[in-house]
Chains A and B, each alone.
Chain A
Protein backbone atom coordinates (compact mmCIF):
# COMPACT_ATOMS: atom_id res chain seq x y z
CA UNK A 1 0.00 0.00 0.00
CA UNK A 2 0.92 3.63 -0.38
CA UNK A 3 0.70 6.25 2.25
CA UNK A 4 1.08 9.64 0.69
CA UNK A 5 0.70 12.76 2.74
CA UNK A 6 0.69 15.80 0.54
CA UNK A 7 1.75 19.15 1.88
CA UNK A 8 -0.58 22.10 1.48
CA UNK A 9 -3.91 22.61 3.10
CA UNK A 10 -6.49 21.89 0.43
CA UNK A 11 -5.76 18.25 -0.27
CA UNK A 12 -8.81 16.06 -0.58
CA UNK A 13 -9.30 12.83 1.31
CA UNK A 14 -8.82 9.89 -0.99
CA UNK A 15 -9.08 6.32 0.07
CA UNK A 16 -8.96 3.40 -2.25
CA UNK A 17 -9.26 -0.05 -0.79
CA UNK A 18 -8.75 -2.69 -3.45
CA UNK A 19 -9.07 -5.40 -0.86
CA UNK A 20 -9.18 -5.73 2.88
CA UNK A 21 -9.39 -9.11 4.56
CA UNK A 22 -9.43 -10.34 8.12
CA UNK A 23 -8.30 -13.77 9.18
CA UNK A 24 -11.21 -15.76 10.51
CA UNK A 25 -11.10 -17.88 13.64
CA UNK A 26 -10.44 -20.93 11.48
CA UNK A 27 -7.42 -19.18 9.98
CA UNK A 28 -8.98 -18.45 6.60
CA UNK A 29 -8.86 -14.93 5.15
CA UNK A 30 -12.27 -13.31 4.86
CA UNK A 31 -12.54 -10.37 2.51
CA UNK A 32 -14.68 -7.65 4.08
CA UNK A 33 -14.00 -4.76 1.66
CA UNK A 34 -13.39 -4.81 -2.08
CA UNK A 35 -12.91 -2.02 -4.63
CA UNK A 36 -14.02 0.72 -2.35
CA UNK A 37 -13.31 4.33 -3.22
CA UNK A 38 -13.93 7.36 -1.08
CA UNK A 39 -13.20 10.85 -2.28
CA UNK A 40 -13.97 13.86 -0.21
CA UNK A 41 -13.08 17.45 -1.04
CA UNK A 42 -10.93 19.32 1.42
CA UNK A 43 -12.94 20.93 4.23
CA UNK A 44 -16.08 19.03 3.37
CA UNK A 45 -18.12 16.58 5.39
CA UNK A 46 -18.80 13.02 4.31
CA UNK A 47 -21.13 10.49 5.90
CA UNK A 48 -20.70 6.73 5.65
CA UNK A 49 -23.94 4.82 5.97
CA UNK A 50 -24.24 1.07 5.89
CA UNK A 51 -25.69 -1.98 7.56
CA UNK A 52 -24.24 -3.26 10.81
CA UNK A 53 -21.04 -5.22 10.37
CA UNK A 54 -20.43 -4.12 6.79
CA UNK A 55 -17.03 -2.59 7.51
CA UNK A 56 -17.57 1.05 8.46
CA UNK A 57 -15.28 0.96 11.48
CA UNK A 58 -12.66 -0.88 9.45
CA UNK A 59 -12.75 1.90 6.85
CA UNK A 60 -12.30 4.57 9.52
CA UNK A 61 -9.33 2.70 10.98
CA UNK A 62 -7.75 2.54 7.56
CA UNK A 63 -8.45 6.24 7.05
CA UNK A 64 -6.84 6.97 10.40
CA UNK A 65 -3.73 5.03 9.45
CA UNK A 66 -4.26 2.56 12.28
CA UNK A 67 -4.69 -0.40 9.96
CA UNK A 68 -2.08 -0.72 7.22
CA UNK A 69 -2.96 -4.29 6.38
CA UNK A 70 -4.85 -3.72 3.12
CA UNK A 71 -4.13 -3.25 -0.56
CA UNK A 72 -4.90 0.17 -1.93
CA UNK A 73 -3.99 3.74 -1.28
CA UNK A 74 -4.66 6.44 1.27
CA UNK A 75 -4.26 10.19 1.02
CA UNK A 76 -5.27 12.33 3.90
CA UNK A 77 -6.07 16.03 4.02
CA UNK A 78 -4.03 18.90 5.38
CA UNK A 79 -1.22 18.34 7.83
CA UNK A 80 -3.02 15.20 8.82
CA UNK A 81 -3.69 16.37 12.36
CA UNK A 82 -6.21 13.72 13.27
CA UNK A 83 -9.10 13.88 15.69
CA UNK A 84 -10.93 10.64 16.19
CA UNK A 85 -14.00 9.45 18.03
CA UNK A 86 -13.89 5.67 18.25
CA UNK A 87 -17.04 3.62 18.38
CA UNK A 88 -16.45 3.14 22.12
CA UNK A 89 -15.12 6.03 24.23
CA UNK A 90 -11.62 4.58 24.67
CA UNK A 91 -10.66 6.84 27.51
CA UNK A 92 -7.77 5.95 29.80
CA UNK A 93 -9.56 4.52 32.87
CA UNK A 94 -6.68 5.47 35.19
CA UNK A 95 -6.68 9.13 34.22
CA UNK A 96 -9.29 11.70 35.20
CA UNK A 97 -11.46 13.36 32.58
CA UNK A 98 -9.27 16.47 32.77
CA UNK A 99 -6.11 14.41 32.29
CA UNK A 100 -7.62 12.45 29.43
CA UNK A 101 -8.20 15.75 27.68
CA UNK A 102 -4.88 17.30 28.72
CA UNK A 103 -2.97 14.36 27.29
CA UNK A 104 -3.87 15.24 23.70
CA UNK A 105 -2.87 18.89 24.06
CA UNK A 106 0.65 20.00 23.39
CA UNK A 107 2.69 20.38 26.58
CA UNK A 108 2.60 24.19 26.56
CA UNK A 109 -1.19 24.38 26.30
CA UNK A 110 -3.56 24.52 29.25
CA UNK A 111 -7.00 23.07 29.65
CA UNK A 112 -8.39 26.63 29.66
CA UNK A 113 -8.39 26.59 25.88
CA UNK A 114 -11.11 23.93 26.06
CA UNK A 115 -13.42 25.90 28.35
CA UNK A 116 -15.97 26.52 25.60
CA UNK A 117 -15.92 22.90 24.49
CA UNK A 118 -16.22 21.63 28.05
CA UNK A 119 -19.14 23.96 28.61
CA UNK A 120 -20.95 22.90 25.43
CA UNK A 121 -20.53 19.23 26.26
CA UNK A 122 -21.53 19.71 29.90
CA UNK A 123 -18.31 18.25 31.26
CA UNK A 124 -17.46 20.99 33.74
CA UNK A 125 -18.69 19.11 36.80
CA UNK A 126 -16.92 15.91 35.82
CA UNK A 127 -13.35 17.00 35.15
CA UNK A 128 -11.98 15.37 38.28
CA UNK A 129 -13.83 12.09 37.77
CA UNK A 130 -12.35 8.87 36.47
CA UNK A 131 -13.98 7.36 33.36
CA UNK A 132 -15.29 4.43 35.42
CA UNK A 133 -17.46 6.88 37.31
CA UNK A 134 -19.14 8.25 34.17
CA UNK A 135 -22.26 7.11 32.37
CA UNK A 136 -21.69 5.90 28.82
CA UNK A 137 -23.24 9.05 27.41
CA UNK A 138 -20.87 11.21 29.45
CA UNK A 139 -17.86 9.13 28.49
CA UNK A 140 -18.81 9.57 24.84
CA UNK A 141 -18.96 13.30 25.31
CA UNK A 142 -15.48 13.26 26.78
CA UNK A 143 -14.30 11.29 23.76
CA UNK A 144 -15.87 13.89 21.48
CA UNK A 145 -14.24 16.71 23.43
CA UNK A 146 -10.90 14.93 23.12
CA UNK A 147 -11.26 14.66 19.34
CA UNK A 148 -12.12 18.34 19.01
CA UNK A 149 -9.41 19.34 21.48
CA UNK A 150 -6.55 18.48 19.15
CA UNK A 151 -7.72 21.14 16.63
CA UNK A 152 -7.93 18.50 13.95
CA UNK A 153 -7.87 19.22 10.26
CA UNK A 154 -9.08 15.70 9.71
CA UNK A 155 -11.87 14.33 11.85
CA UNK A 156 -13.14 10.75 11.98
CA UNK A 157 -16.33 10.03 13.90
CA UNK A 158 -17.65 6.53 14.50
CA UNK A 159 -21.32 6.84 15.45
CA UNK A 160 -20.65 9.65 17.93
CA UNK A 161 -24.30 10.40 18.78
CA UNK A 162 -25.31 6.94 19.92
CA UNK A 163 -26.56 6.83 23.54
CA UNK A 164 -26.66 10.60 23.94
CA UNK A 165 -29.91 12.22 24.93
CA UNK A 166 -31.77 14.16 22.28
CA UNK A 167 -30.95 17.64 23.53
CA UNK A 168 -27.23 16.94 23.90
CA UNK A 169 -27.09 15.28 20.50
CA UNK A 170 -28.80 18.29 18.91
CA UNK A 171 -26.36 20.70 20.54
CA UNK A 172 -23.48 18.52 19.44
CA UNK A 173 -24.64 18.50 15.83
CA UNK A 174 -24.70 22.28 15.85
CA UNK A 175 -21.30 22.43 17.50
CA UNK A 176 -19.94 19.95 15.00
CA UNK A 177 -21.17 22.04 12.08
CA UNK A 178 -19.80 25.28 13.52
CA UNK A 179 -16.47 23.77 14.42
CA UNK A 180 -15.87 21.96 11.16
CA UNK A 181 -16.79 25.04 9.14
CA UNK A 182 -14.89 27.55 11.23
CA UNK A 183 -11.73 25.49 11.54
CA UNK A 184 -12.04 24.02 8.05
CA UNK A 185 -11.97 20.40 9.05
CA UNK A 186 -12.36 17.56 6.61
CA UNK A 187 -14.72 15.14 8.33
CA UNK A 188 -15.84 11.58 7.82
CA UNK A 189 -18.81 10.49 9.93
CA UNK A 190 -20.06 6.94 10.34
CA UNK A 191 -23.71 6.77 11.25
CA UNK A 192 -26.77 4.56 11.21
CA UNK A 193 -29.02 7.56 11.29
CA UNK A 194 -30.00 8.87 7.86
CA UNK A 195 -31.35 12.09 9.35
CA UNK A 196 -28.02 12.84 11.00
CA UNK A 197 -26.22 12.19 7.77
CA UNK A 198 -28.54 14.39 5.70
CA UNK A 199 -28.41 17.20 8.20
CA UNK A 200 -24.64 17.30 8.60
CA UNK A 201 -22.99 16.12 5.42
CA UNK A 202 -22.01 17.39 1.98
CA UNK A 203 -21.75 13.91 0.62
CA UNK A 204 -23.32 10.57 1.50
CA UNK A 205 -21.69 7.21 0.88
CA UNK A 206 -24.01 4.22 1.09
CA UNK A 207 -22.14 0.97 1.53
CA UNK A 208 -23.06 -2.42 0.22
CA UNK A 209 -22.64 -5.55 2.34
CA UNK A 210 -19.82 -8.01 2.10
CA UNK A 211 -17.46 -7.43 0.57
CA UNK A 212 -18.24 -3.78 1.21
CA UNK A 213 -17.94 -1.10 -1.42
CA UNK A 214 -19.68 2.19 -2.09
CA UNK A 215 -23.06 1.31 -3.61
CA UNK A 216 -24.49 4.80 -3.96
CA UNK A 217 -22.78 8.14 -3.59
CA UNK A 218 -24.86 11.29 -3.23
CA UNK A 219 -23.70 14.89 -3.15
CA UNK A 220 -26.08 17.10 -1.21
CA UNK A 221 -26.86 20.74 -1.99
CA UNK A 222 -25.24 23.31 0.28
CA UNK A 223 -25.33 24.62 2.90
CA UNK A 224 -24.81 21.73 5.22
CA UNK A 225 -25.78 22.01 8.84
CA UNK A 226 -28.60 24.46 8.15
CA UNK A 227 -31.02 22.46 6.07
CA UNK A 228 -34.71 22.97 6.67
CA UNK A 229 -37.05 20.18 7.64
CA UNK A 230 -38.55 20.32 4.15
CA UNK A 231 -35.16 19.95 2.44
CA UNK A 232 -34.22 17.06 4.71
CA UNK A 233 -37.47 15.25 3.93
CA UNK A 234 -36.98 15.81 0.23
CA UNK A 235 -33.44 14.41 0.35
CA UNK A 236 -34.67 11.45 2.41
CA UNK A 237 -37.25 10.68 -0.29
CA UNK A 238 -34.58 10.83 -2.95
CA UNK A 239 -32.42 8.47 -0.90
CA UNK A 240 -35.36 6.09 -0.58
CA UNK A 241 -35.68 6.08 -4.36
CA UNK A 242 -31.98 5.64 -5.11
CA UNK A 243 -30.73 3.29 -2.46
CA UNK A 244 -31.73 -0.31 -3.11
CA UNK A 245 -33.77 -2.31 -0.69
CA UNK A 246 -30.83 -4.02 0.98
CA UNK A 247 -30.97 -1.25 3.55
CA UNK A 248 -34.56 -1.27 4.71
CA UNK A 249 -33.72 0.46 8.01
CA UNK A 250 -32.26 3.38 6.09
CA UNK A 251 -34.99 3.74 3.49
CA UNK A 252 -37.64 3.57 6.18
CA UNK A 253 -36.22 6.49 8.07
Chain B
Protein backbone atom coordinates (compact mmCIF):
# COMPACT_ATOMS: atom_id res chain seq x y z
CA UNK B 1 0.00 0.00 0.00
CA UNK B 2 2.77 2.39 1.01
CA UNK B 3 4.48 1.53 -2.27
CA UNK B 4 1.44 2.49 -4.31
CA UNK B 5 1.02 5.81 -2.49
CA UNK B 6 4.69 6.63 -2.84
CA UNK B 7 4.66 5.88 -6.58
CA UNK B 8 1.46 7.90 -7.04
CA UNK B 9 3.07 10.87 -5.31
CA UNK B 10 6.12 10.58 -7.56
CA UNK B 11 3.90 10.46 -10.64
CA UNK B 12 1.93 13.47 -9.38
CA UNK B 13 5.10 15.48 -8.77
CA UNK B 14 6.36 14.62 -12.23
CA UNK B 15 3.06 15.73 -13.79
CA UNK B 16 3.11 18.96 -11.82
CA UNK B 17 6.70 19.89 -12.68
CA UNK B 18 6.18 18.96 -16.35
CA UNK B 19 3.08 21.18 -16.43
CA UNK B 20 4.96 24.09 -14.82
CA UNK B 21 8.04 23.69 -17.02
CA UNK B 22 6.20 23.21 -20.31
CA UNK B 23 9.46 22.08 -21.89
CA UNK B 24 10.12 19.32 -24.42
CA UNK B 25 12.97 18.24 -22.10
CA UNK B 26 10.46 17.08 -19.50
CA UNK B 27 7.44 15.50 -21.18
CA UNK B 28 4.34 14.85 -19.10
CA UNK B 29 3.50 11.37 -17.82
CA UNK B 30 0.54 11.40 -20.20
CA UNK B 31 2.61 11.83 -23.34
CA UNK B 32 5.10 9.18 -22.15
CA UNK B 33 2.21 6.83 -21.49
CA UNK B 34 0.76 7.51 -24.92
CA UNK B 35 4.07 6.68 -26.59
CA UNK B 36 4.39 3.46 -24.60
CA UNK B 37 0.93 2.41 -25.77
CA UNK B 38 1.57 3.44 -29.39
CA UNK B 39 4.97 1.70 -29.60
CA UNK B 40 3.57 -1.38 -27.95
CA UNK B 41 0.80 -1.48 -30.56
CA UNK B 42 3.25 -1.06 -33.42
CA UNK B 43 5.43 -3.83 -31.97
CA UNK B 44 8.49 -1.57 -31.80
CA UNK B 45 8.75 -1.49 -28.01
CA UNK B 46 8.26 -5.26 -27.48
CA UNK B 47 10.82 -5.97 -30.21
CA UNK B 48 13.49 -3.72 -28.70
CA UNK B 49 12.82 -5.04 -25.22
CA UNK B 50 13.02 -8.63 -26.46
CA UNK B 51 16.42 -7.94 -28.06
CA UNK B 52 17.73 -6.54 -24.80
CA UNK B 53 16.16 -9.26 -22.70
CA UNK B 54 17.70 -11.98 -24.87
CA UNK B 55 21.13 -10.43 -24.34
CA UNK B 56 20.54 -10.17 -20.62
CA UNK B 57 19.50 -13.83 -20.49
CA UNK B 58 22.45 -15.06 -22.57
CA UNK B 59 25.04 -13.04 -20.68
CA UNK B 60 23.51 -14.06 -17.37
CA UNK B 61 23.53 -17.74 -18.28
CA UNK B 62 27.17 -17.63 -19.36
CA UNK B 63 28.40 -15.62 -16.38
CA UNK B 64 26.41 -17.76 -13.98
CA UNK B 65 27.56 -21.13 -15.36
CA UNK B 66 31.23 -20.23 -15.66
CA UNK B 67 31.24 -18.23 -12.45
CA UNK B 68 29.65 -20.92 -10.32
CA UNK B 69 31.96 -23.60 -11.71
CA UNK B 70 35.03 -21.39 -11.29
CA UNK B 71 34.04 -20.08 -7.89
CA UNK B 72 33.29 -23.57 -6.62
CA UNK B 73 36.65 -24.86 -7.83
CA UNK B 74 38.48 -21.93 -6.24
CA UNK B 75 36.58 -22.32 -2.99
CA UNK B 76 37.34 -26.04 -2.74
CA UNK B 77 40.95 -26.13 -3.93
CA UNK B 78 43.64 -23.93 -2.41
CA UNK B 79 45.90 -24.65 -5.38
CA UNK B 80 43.40 -23.49 -7.99
CA UNK B 81 42.62 -20.49 -5.83
CA UNK B 82 46.26 -19.45 -5.62
CA UNK B 83 46.72 -19.58 -9.40
CA UNK B 84 43.38 -18.12 -10.44
CA UNK B 85 43.14 -15.37 -7.87
CA UNK B 86 45.42 -12.84 -9.63
CA UNK B 87 43.31 -13.16 -12.80
CA UNK B 88 40.24 -12.60 -10.75
CA UNK B 89 41.67 -9.47 -9.21
CA UNK B 90 42.53 -8.08 -12.65
CA UNK B 91 39.06 -8.86 -13.97
CA UNK B 92 37.42 -7.34 -10.90
CA UNK B 93 39.25 -4.10 -11.41
CA UNK B 94 38.77 -3.69 -15.15
CA UNK B 95 36.18 -0.96 -15.75
CA UNK B 96 33.10 -2.21 -17.58
CA UNK B 97 33.71 0.21 -20.42
CA UNK B 98 37.24 -1.10 -21.02
CA UNK B 99 35.99 -4.68 -21.28
CA UNK B 100 33.26 -3.60 -23.70
CA UNK B 101 35.69 -1.70 -25.94
CA UNK B 102 38.21 -4.58 -25.98
CA UNK B 103 35.47 -7.05 -26.84
CA UNK B 104 34.19 -4.94 -29.74
CA UNK B 105 37.69 -4.32 -31.07
CA UNK B 106 38.97 -7.88 -30.76
CA UNK B 107 35.83 -9.86 -31.53
CA UNK B 108 34.13 -7.33 -33.80
CA UNK B 109 30.96 -5.30 -33.66
CA UNK B 110 28.69 -8.30 -33.34
CA UNK B 111 26.37 -10.17 -31.02
CA UNK B 112 29.09 -12.47 -29.67
CA UNK B 113 31.23 -9.54 -28.62
CA UNK B 114 28.27 -7.84 -26.95
CA UNK B 115 27.31 -10.88 -24.90
CA UNK B 116 30.91 -11.81 -24.03
CA UNK B 117 31.53 -8.27 -22.83
CA UNK B 118 28.52 -8.30 -20.54
CA UNK B 119 29.23 -11.79 -19.22
CA UNK B 120 32.87 -10.89 -18.52
CA UNK B 121 31.72 -7.88 -16.54
CA UNK B 122 29.52 -10.01 -14.32
CA UNK B 123 31.76 -13.07 -14.10
CA UNK B 124 34.19 -11.99 -11.35
CA UNK B 125 31.36 -11.11 -9.02
CA UNK B 126 29.74 -14.53 -9.50
CA UNK B 127 33.10 -16.18 -8.85
CA UNK B 128 33.79 -14.21 -5.68
CA UNK B 129 30.39 -14.90 -4.15
CA UNK B 130 30.32 -18.59 -5.12
CA UNK B 131 33.85 -19.04 -3.79
CA UNK B 132 32.70 -17.60 -0.48
CA UNK B 133 29.84 -20.10 -0.46
CA UNK B 134 32.06 -23.03 -1.37
CA UNK B 135 34.48 -22.13 1.41
CA UNK B 136 31.69 -22.16 3.94
CA UNK B 137 30.46 -25.67 3.05
CA UNK B 138 30.17 -27.71 6.22
CA UNK B 139 32.81 -30.48 6.28
CA UNK B 140 30.73 -32.39 8.82
CA UNK B 141 27.99 -32.84 6.21
CA UNK B 142 30.61 -33.90 3.67
CA UNK B 143 31.68 -36.64 6.07
CA UNK B 144 28.08 -37.66 6.58
CA UNK B 145 27.51 -37.91 2.83
CA UNK B 146 30.66 -39.96 2.43
CA UNK B 147 29.84 -42.30 5.32
CA UNK B 148 26.40 -42.98 3.86
CA UNK B 149 27.76 -43.40 0.32
CA UNK B 150 25.80 -40.64 -1.31
CA UNK B 151 26.27 -40.67 -5.08
CA UNK B 152 27.82 -37.46 -6.37
CA UNK B 153 24.51 -36.44 -7.90
CA UNK B 154 22.71 -36.92 -4.62
CA UNK B 155 25.44 -35.10 -2.75
CA UNK B 156 25.26 -32.17 -5.15
CA UNK B 157 21.48 -31.97 -4.93
CA UNK B 158 21.00 -32.62 -1.23
CA UNK B 159 24.20 -31.43 0.42
CA UNK B 160 26.08 -28.91 -1.70
CA UNK B 161 23.42 -26.91 -3.57
CA UNK B 162 21.24 -26.21 -0.52
CA UNK B 163 24.27 -24.72 1.21
CA UNK B 164 25.18 -22.66 -1.85
CA UNK B 165 21.59 -21.57 -2.47
CA UNK B 166 21.67 -18.31 -0.48
CA UNK B 167 24.88 -17.30 -2.28
CA UNK B 168 23.47 -18.21 -5.68
CA UNK B 169 20.28 -16.31 -4.92
CA UNK B 170 22.26 -13.23 -3.94
CA UNK B 171 24.31 -13.52 -7.11
CA UNK B 172 21.19 -13.86 -9.28
CA UNK B 173 19.60 -10.80 -7.77
CA UNK B 174 22.57 -8.49 -7.98
CA UNK B 175 23.51 -10.19 -11.25
CA UNK B 176 20.30 -9.33 -12.99
CA UNK B 177 20.42 -5.68 -12.01
CA UNK B 178 24.09 -5.25 -12.95
CA UNK B 179 23.75 -7.13 -16.20
CA UNK B 180 20.82 -5.26 -17.62
CA UNK B 181 22.49 -1.94 -16.92
CA UNK B 182 25.64 -3.05 -18.74
CA UNK B 183 23.64 -4.51 -21.61
CA UNK B 184 22.19 -1.05 -22.26
CA UNK B 185 25.69 0.42 -22.51
CA UNK B 186 26.84 -2.36 -24.82
CA UNK B 187 23.83 -1.76 -27.07
CA UNK B 188 24.42 1.96 -27.08
CA UNK B 189 28.02 1.46 -28.19
CA UNK B 190 27.66 -1.15 -30.86
CA UNK B 191 24.31 -2.78 -31.56
CA UNK B 192 21.66 -1.81 -34.13
CA UNK B 193 18.75 -2.72 -31.86
CA UNK B 194 17.71 -3.11 -28.23
CA UNK B 195 16.61 -0.63 -25.59
CA UNK B 196 20.16 0.73 -25.24
CA UNK B 197 20.30 1.44 -28.97
CA UNK B 198 16.95 3.27 -28.86
CA UNK B 199 18.10 5.33 -25.87
CA UNK B 200 21.30 6.25 -27.73
CA UNK B 201 19.60 7.36 -30.92
CA UNK B 202 16.88 9.23 -29.02
CA UNK B 203 19.61 10.97 -27.03
CA UNK B 204 21.18 12.34 -30.18
CA UNK B 205 17.72 13.68 -31.16
CA UNK B 206 16.95 14.96 -27.65
CA UNK B 207 13.77 12.91 -27.81
CA UNK B 208 13.02 12.82 -24.09
CA UNK B 209 9.57 11.27 -24.50
CA UNK B 210 11.05 8.23 -26.20
CA UNK B 211 13.93 7.96 -23.72
CA UNK B 212 11.55 7.99 -20.78
CA UNK B 213 9.11 5.59 -22.43
CA UNK B 214 11.73 2.95 -23.13
CA UNK B 215 13.63 3.40 -19.89
CA UNK B 216 10.51 3.15 -17.76
CA UNK B 217 9.18 0.15 -19.67
CA UNK B 218 12.42 -1.73 -19.28
CA UNK B 219 12.84 -0.94 -15.60
CA UNK B 220 9.27 -2.12 -15.08
CA UNK B 221 10.02 -5.36 -16.91
CA UNK B 222 13.07 -5.98 -14.75
CA UNK B 223 11.05 -5.32 -11.60
CA UNK B 224 8.44 -7.81 -12.76
CA UNK B 225 11.11 -10.46 -13.38
CA UNK B 226 12.67 -9.76 -10.00
CA UNK B 227 9.33 -9.94 -8.17
CA UNK B 228 7.77 -12.89 -9.94
CA UNK B 229 10.81 -15.00 -10.79
CA UNK B 230 13.80 -14.28 -8.57
CA UNK B 231 12.04 -13.65 -5.27
CA UNK B 232 9.73 -16.69 -5.35
CA UNK B 233 12.75 -18.84 -6.24
CA UNK B 234 14.58 -17.41 -3.25
CA UNK B 235 11.63 -18.08 -0.97
CA UNK B 236 11.43 -21.65 -2.21
CA UNK B 237 15.06 -22.41 -1.42
CA UNK B 238 14.66 -20.91 2.05
CA UNK B 239 11.46 -22.76 2.88
CA UNK B 240 13.16 -25.04 5.43
CA UNK B 241 14.41 -22.02 7.38
CA UNK B 242 10.99 -20.57 8.04
CA UNK B 243 10.05 -22.74 10.99
CA UNK B 244 13.56 -23.42 12.17
CA UNK B 245 14.08 -23.13 15.90
Interface string of A93-111 (1 = CB under 8 A from B): 1110000000110000000
- Complex Cα gap A129–B144 (Å): 20
- Complex Cα gap A62–B241 (Å): 33
Answer whether residue B93 sits at the interface, using C-beta atoms and an 8 A cutoff: no
Q: Are A132 and B243 in contact (CB under 8 A)?
A: yes
Q: Are A93 and B244 in contact (CB under 8 A)?
A: yes
- Complex Cα gap A66–B148 (Å): 11
- Complex Cα gap A84–B240 (Å): 25
Partner of A103, one of B146, B158, B244: B158
Interface string of B146-160 (1 = CB under 8 A from A): 111110001000110
Q: Are B162 and A66 in contact (CB under 8 A)?
A: no
Q: Are A95 and B240 in contact (CB under 8 A)?
A: yes
Q: A92-B159, A93-B240, A133-B245 are in contact. Are A103 and B140 (CB under 8 A)?
A: no
Q: Are B140 and A90 in contact (CB under 8 A)?
A: yes
Answer whether residue A31 sits at the interface, using C-beta atoms and an 8 A cutoff: no
Within 8 A of B (CB), among A87-145: 88, 90, 92-95, 103-104, 130, 132-133
List residues of chain B with CB within 8 A of the CB of A150: 148
Answer whether residue A86 sits at the interface, using C-beta atoms and an 8 A cutoff: yes
List residues of chain B with CB within 8 A of the CB of A88: 140
- Complex Cα gap A103–B149 (Å): 10
Answer whether residue B141 sits at the interface, using C-beta atoms and an 8 A cutoff: yes
- Complex Cα gap A63–B162 (Å): 29
List residues of chain B with CB within 8 A of the CB of A95: 158, 162, 240
- Complex Cα gap A64–B245 (Å): 31
- Complex Cα gap A3–B240 (Å): 39
List residues of chain B with CB within 8 A of the CB of A65: 146-147
Partner of B144, one of A90, A94, A130: A90
Most buried by A among B141, B240, B243: B240
List residues of chain B with CB within 8 A of the CB of A84: 144, 147-148
Answer whether residue A146 sits at the interface, using C-beta atoms and an 8 A cutoff: yes
Q: Are A130 and B244 in contact (CB under 8 A)?
A: yes
Q: Closest approach, in angstroms, between the C-beta of B145 and any C-beta of chain A?
A: 9
Q: Are A64 and B147 in contact (CB under 8 A)?
A: yes
- Complex Cα gap A103–B141 (Å): 13
Interface string of B222-245 (1 = CB under 8 A from A): 000000000000000000110111
Q: Are B240 and A130 in contact (CB under 8 A)?
A: yes
Partner of A66, one of B146, B159, B245: B146
- Complex Cα gap A93–B242 (Å): 11
List residues of chain B with CB within 8 A of the CB of A64: 147
Q: Are B147 and A132 in contact (CB under 8 A)?
A: no
CB-nearest residue of chain A relative to B144?
A: A90
Within 8 A of B (CB), among A62-90: 64-66, 82, 84, 86, 88, 90
12 residue pairs of the A-B complex, CB under 8 angstroms, read A82-B148, A84-B144, A86-B140, A86-B143, A90-B141, A90-B144, A92-B141, A92-B158, A93-B240, A94-B240, A103-B150, A103-B154
Inter-chain pairs besides A82-B147, A88-B140, A92-B159, 9 sampled, C-beta below 8 Å: A66-B146, A66-B147, A82-B149, A93-B244, A130-B240, A130-B243, A130-B244, A132-B243, A132-B244
Q: Using a CB–CB distance below 8 Å, which chain A residues touch chain B? A: 61, 64-66, 82, 84, 86, 88, 90, 92-95, 103-104, 130, 132-133, 146, 150
